[in-house]
A and B are shown apart, each in its own frame.
Chain A
């Protein structure tokens, strides 16, 4: 979920921006110019994932897939997501300019956390086990993301607490869908091209 400009208080905005700068810095340190094509292409895949709208009853939700991105990219998820979100703000008007730091942090930090949690599990030799780790990663990233969105809203003022409480239940269906989709994606990659997951450890 993109938070818009003007809603959050300045301490939250500044904290988000500083943490994002640190994350991006670490990510850029870890990324060589050699990896650029790979990271660029993966970032575009995730950009495109965010416009796959899946129907959900009468409405629809779009995939976020930050868990899987984190598993593949690690810290490099920070610069990749920053660029993707910047393009989305400027050319599509999703979110806002000054909240870019907070929005990037809310999506990229869970990705990095999932990277450390699922790093081993996703490389399990059995495709089923790896896929279950993938599903947990996909769903887990959404849980952490929605918690962070809720926190950044709640920290911005008493009046946002209700909205913050609404964020969590709103993300439960997305979490379930993302879990299933990640399961299938990891299962497929494991069966079709296992070296892709095992090799990409940067």
Chain B
């Protein structure tokens, strides 16, 4: 499985997750970022199952309507869910409460199981909303949206630079790995592997720093005075208003379900 993960990571160069065009793409980037942030805040701080499950349902609906590839999207959350599985196994035994069953003198409690399940639901809901609302835009659009949302300029610049050079550097990395493979190098658990990977990493650093120097020289040559200008004007349209009002109402409902003792 780690192989599959490695592959999906190395070929990422800041593009949006693959999906077909949908109405979510028409929504203003800022609205999408703010909405998903608020969603995370509300869902993570909810204490009961009903609002968390409603959040998860909403997340599924959003994933469906953003036309993301369902299988791929689920594969992305599976890695996290494996970690959650461990939590589900551990928490029932460490939380005191009503017993479900007893193994080797340890009692599993309902409260612990519910707690672990609640965490799983919340974490999945947040990630799915992020995938459908934010990851469906490219990383540079995200950077611009953040800049319009008054995130410090340098941080946004750092993000834009990083996204731009991720691809270049991963090409460099792949080139060096291929050269090692051509010399019959196989990753194993021994000191030779670690030394070789250390050398690879050191060389990658040196080459990248030299490249950074060339980049900044070339940019200065072209009159770069240290900043990008954000020329795109983001406008709030009717779709944005409708979407954000609906979404905020939904979040209001979730908050209401938390305040109310109805589902205790």
Interface residues of chain A, those whose CB is within 8 Å of chain B, are: 4-7, 10, 24, 28, 31-34, 36-45, 47-49, 51-57, 59-60, 62-63, 65, 68, 72, 79-80, 82-84, 86-87, 89-94, 96-98, 158-163, 166, 177, 180-189, 192-193, 196
Contacts and interface: CB of A to CB of B under 8 A. Distances in A.
Contact of B94 (A24, A160, A188): A160
B205 A189 contact: yes
A53 B2 contact: yes
Given A180-B191, A188-B202, A5 B197 contact: no
Contacts of B219: 37
A180 B94 CA distance: 36
Contacts of B91: 159, 163
A54 B165 contact: no
A201 B12 CA distance: 31
Interface stretch (B150-158, B237-245, B246-254, B255-263): B150-158
B123 A185 contact: no
B201 to A, nearest CB: 5
A119 B68 CA distance: 47
Q: What are the nearest 5 A-B pairs in CB distance?
A: A184-B198, A40-B161, A33-B226, A6-B122, A188-B202
A45 B161 contact: no
B70 interface: no
Contacts of B155: 24, 28, 79, 82-83
A44 B199 CA distance: 18
Give the interface size class of chain B: 35 or more
Nearest to A88: B9
A109 B213 CA distance: 27
Contacts of B213: 37-38
A158 B161 CA distance: 42
A48 B169 contact: yes
B179 interface: no
The DSSP consensus for interface residues of chain B is helix
B134 interface: yes
A51 B197 contact: no
8 contacts: A4-B80, A40-B165, A41-B212, A43-B158, A48-B10, A90-B131, A97-B37, A181-B201
A38 B9 CA distance: 22
Given A65-B201, A97-B130, 7 more contacts: A6-B121, A36-B226, A37-B212, A54-B193, A56-B189, A83-B159, A90-B142
A22 B154 CA distance: 15
B162 A83 contact: yes
B57 to A, nearest CB: 16
A4 B198 contact: no
Contact of B135 (A7, A43, A57, A91): A91
Contacts of A53: 2-3, 5-6
